[in-house]
Amino acid sequence: MASDAFPTRIAYAEALAIVSRVARGRRLPAEHIALARAHGRVLATDALARIAMPAFDNSAMDGFALRRADLLPGETLLALRGEQFAGGPAAPLVRAGECVRITTGAPLPDGSDTVVIKEHTRIEDGNVRVLQAPAAGSHVRHRGEDVRAGDLLAVVGEALSPARVALLAGQGIAGIDVARRPTVAVFSTGDELVEPGLPLAHGQVYDSNRELLMGLLRAEGLEPVAWPTLPDDPHAIESALRHAGEAFDLVLTCGGVSAGEKDHLPALLQRRGQVHFWKVRMRPGMPVLFADGGTLGPALFLALPGNPVSVLATWFALARPLLDGLQARAPRRAWRARLAAPWRKRHERLEFLRGRLASADDGTLLVEPDPADGSHRMRAAADADALIVLEEGERDYPQGSVVEVLPY
Ligand code: AMP
Ligand code: MG
């Protein structure tokens, strides 16, 4: 196989740039969906405020709306003119010496400017005695103090959090433009793989990567489809990938992408597809391959190595950025932490080391590197909660060094 036809053994930054470029050329179209289904989706059009919020001056408390100028230095007896409940009919105008019973969220009656809380009053023969005078304007929420009509409320590329969706619902927005969600097919390959629940024969291992990938994809709000595990048989692999390549935006495989006798994916994707890169100078995960499907179909193919921790690392390093790019999602926040222990990096490749995050008493974010750094050590990866990104090159990292972390 000629390896000079496509970039190979490239730097991680280069691989990421290729992934971003390809994704940019494959941006998924926007679709208009019900706001109720928009959680976690990537916004495709800026959302502007249609109305002010609050839409009208209203009470922040249950109590009585009054005119502050009416209150005497001590106690004051006011005539109770009526009531203004949230959602109820409009109360009468509040005139000098009067007040109106009011509930939280109810519009401030005309004429009034201040609310006294219930607890600071006493009812006397149908009148209201104000026992403690509130400051002028107390407990009034003013029209537009949170949002003014025309404000930019959510920006293109933003993944919609529950609070953002709630803000848009508060605007009366019922439908919204989001990027179409990428469809993803997940494949595990390997003659040794067995479904959990079945007995293990000599040399077999349970397929754990499928659950890893399905969980990671679902956590991104996607609805991936998993195939039964594929044997290391080039014909079986080709036929399954062809089906998926016609039907999905992304085909995510794991295993069979190195240079072993049973690693059929590189030859297949080079023969049938168009390889964007094969092998990235990262650890773990070096054999990762990225390709256009070519005659396998319009899908993109990202072939991850089989070692479970390699799957985890290549997911965060390349798969998630690819899915973000397809949806034109804005760059994610980069997190940094200080190493809680020194680390000696004794190899050249960029590393995604596992670590545990902790918050120091002074508020510093710390990360404890895990010396169990083998790419087969899924238990260590499960006990950790972040990938520590260590740049290319051998280096001694003293305790306290600032490193990039990818929490998971
Ligand atoms: P490969 O990339 O196919 O050479 O596989 C590398 C290592 O990962 C081997 O030890 C495989 O047994 C293991 N492996 C591959 N696929 C899976 C999987 N789906 N679940 C668990 N381990 C796997
Ligand atoms: Mg294999």
| Average pLDDT of the residues of the chain | 97
The pairing of strands 47-48 and 8-10 is: unpaired
Cα 198 to middle of ligand 2, angstroms: 19
**What average pLDDT does the segment 76-103 reach?**
98
Contact 364, 383 (CB under 8 A): no
Q: CA 357, CA 386: separation in Å to the nearest integer?
A: 7
Residue type, 361: D
Percent of the chain with pLDDT over 70: 99
Residue 3 confidence (pLDDT)? 44
Residue 1 confidence (pLDDT)? 46
Q: Which residues line ligand 1 (CB under 6 A)?
A: 188, 190, 192-193, 205, 207-210, 254-256, 258, 260, 305-308
Q: How many residues does the chain have?
A: 408
Residue 2 confidence (pLDDT)? 45
Q: CA 128, CA 130: separation in Å to the nearest integer?
A: 6
Q: Is 361 strand, coil or helix?
A: coil
Contact 358, 385 (CB under 8 A): no
Q: Which of 188, 230, 254 to mutate to test the pocket of ligand 1 (most atoms within 8 A of CB)?
A: 254
Q: Where are the domains of the chain?
A: 8-28+181-326, 33-53+147-179, 58-141, 335-407
What are the angstrom distances between the C-alpha of 77 and each of 80, 109, 259? 9, 19, 90
**What average pLDDT does the segment 272-301 reach?**
98
pLDDT band for 4, please (50, 70, 90 cuts): low
- CATH class for the region spanning 335-407: mainly beta
pLDDT in tens, 214-264: 999 999 999 999 999 999 999 999 999 999 999 999 999 999 999 999 999
**What average pLDDT does the segment 356-380 reach?**
97
For domain 8-28+181-326, the question of CATH label 1.10.10.10 is answered with: no
pLDDT in tens, 314-326: 999 999 999 999 9
- Nearest residue by C-alpha to atom 15 in ligand 1: 306
Cα 305 to middle of ligand 2, angstroms: 8
Please give the DSSP secondary-structure letter assigned to residue 131.
S
Q: CA 85, CA 229: separation in Å to the nearest integer?
A: 62
The pairing of strands 193-194 and 205-206 is: parallel
The CATH number given to 58-141 is: 2.170.190.11
- Nearest residue by C-alpha to atom 7 in ligand 1: 307
Task: Note whether 33-53+147-179 and 335-407 share their fold.
Answer: no
The CATH number given to 33-53+147-179 is: 3.90.105.10
